[in-house]
Structure 1
Amino acid sequence: MKLSIISVGNKMPAWVAQGYDEYAKRLPRELCPSLIELPLAPRSKTSNREKIKAQEGTQIIAALSKKAHVIMLDVKGTSLSTEKLATKLENWQMSGIHANIVIGGPDGLSKECLGLADESWSLSALTLPHPLVRVVLIEQLYRAWTITQNHPYHK
């Protein structure tokens, strides 16, 4: 199995990198995702959000691995329990799937990106700060893995 997290935003605060790294190092080598950081499109007070999403979407599409299973994180996506994520993770491992999980920019994902999704997930009904999404996602992947291993972390 190969797992990649494609994330718009490459100048994250130190706490984001520390949080992400902490959970990534806990994952076994075969599950540790590669993190692909893409730069934010330039923004100003008068920027057109749709153009920004389109620019970032072009970068995302270029970064997607061919034949990968694509999961877009989107506020309108399906909510998963950690247990359901653990089941998905286990199935991916058994099938040797290459999964790309995409975190869009602060303005969300372009229609083109959403149209390429095999799945669309919502991490929360709450609006989360963009940098926090990266940390929440890697922690949930770690937690899901601990469930598959009967590790006490989840309890």
Structure 2
Amino acid sequence: MNIDLLVVGKTDSAEIQSLVATYLKRLNFYTRVTLVTLPDLKNTRNISAESQKRQEGELLMRQFADGDYVVLLDEKGAEMRSVEFSMWLQKRMNSGVRRLCFVIGGPYGFSKTVYDRADESISLSRMTFSHQIIRAIFAEQLYRAFTIIRNEPYHHE
């Protein structure tokens, strides 16, 4: 199974980029994980939040192929503990999913079109995090899930 982490816009924080790179490097020991960064929209101060979500949604929809399993990282999604997430991930791997796409949207979330295309939504917390920092948090959780699956001593219960 291939995993793609699709994110809207570059991060301007070297620290966040470094953390994400560290966890993606570790993850590639277990499976192929690719970070796909979609370009930032131009002149966002001059467009409404709805228009921004729609334009970002159009960019995202071009990334999905038939058969992709699309999971939105969204505050309204299902909440799981790390062990539950690892079991969820194992089920996706066992089900024959070829490409698993985790999607982190822009600052206003996702358009209706993207919500309609998604197979599932997962929430990492009831708290709100910036769409920048969530990249590092999710990369770490994905790494943690693989170490749990492999029964490695990273996660402590």
TM-score (norm 2): 0.92
Q: Aligned residue for 1:129?
A: 130
The equivalences for 1:51-62 within 5 A come to: 51-62=51-62
Distance 1:100 1:138 in 2: 13
- Gaps of at least 5 residues in structure 1 are none
Q: Aligned residue for 1:147?
A: 148
Report the CA distance between 1:28 and its aligned residue: 3.9
The equivalences for 1:21-60 within 5 A come to: 21-42=21-42, 43-44=44-45, 46-60=46-60
The SS at the match of 2:126 is coil
Report the CA distance between 1:91 and its aligned residue: 2.0
Q: Aligned residue for 2:103?
A: 102
Moved over 6 A (4+): none
Distance 2:33 2:10 in 1: 16
Query: Would the aligned equivalents of 1:5 and 1:103 in 2 still touch at CA under 8 Å?
Result: yes
Count of matched residue pairs: 154
The SS at the match of 1:129 is coil
Q: Aligned residue for 1:16?
A: 16
Report the CA distance between 1:30 and its aligned residue: 4.7
The SS at the match of 1:18 is helix
Alignment root-mean-square deviation, CA = 1.4
Distance 2:30 2:4 in 1: 12
TM-score (norm 1): 0.93
